[in-house]
Amino acid sequence: MEDTEKLKAILCVDDEPIILIALKQELKKQFGNEFQYETAINASEAMEAVDELVNAGINVILILSDWRMPGIKGDEFLILIHQKYPDIRSILITGHVDEAAVERVKKEAGTYTVLPKPWDPKQLADAVKVCCNLN
């Protein structure tokens, strides 16, 4: 059996493991086995994960990232990812909104939207559907 459709992955990045668990559970509830769900606890781990997935032939279509993380902040991380992998879509999820960072990430990383923490499940699902072309 030849599978012409590449595996599709969604990467969740947050420095709080409990948030990663909740986000992954929410996505699985909404989208089931449509995607492979990956997690990373900081930007450098996330960057490595994206490189590994891409090298393994997996299509990383979306990154959901926290903004306030130790080391590289979410907006800077998403801009770096966008420069290297312009086709990967992104959503910033944050409890602390910095308007300048929001404007920058939308402009420089093409980030689709910024969702507040705690996120609204319908809002999250709708944003993921748009980013992943699921209509």
Q: Which of 93, 95, 87, 73 is nearest to 131 (CA)?
A: 87
Q: Per residue in 46-62, pLDDT tens?
A: 999 999 999 999 999 99
pLDDT digits (tens, 9 = 90+) for 106-132: 999 999 999 999 999 999 999 999 999
Domains and CATH numbers, the chain: 8-131 (3.40.50.2300)
17 φ, ψ (degrees, to nearest 5): -55, -35
Nearest to 37 by CA among 72, 13, 2: 13
- pLDDT for 2 equals 40
Percentage with pLDDT > 90 across the chain: 89
Is residue 67 within 8 A of residue 96, CB to CB? The reply is yes
CA distance readout (Å), 20 to 3, 13, 27, 100, 134: 30, 7, 11, 25, 23
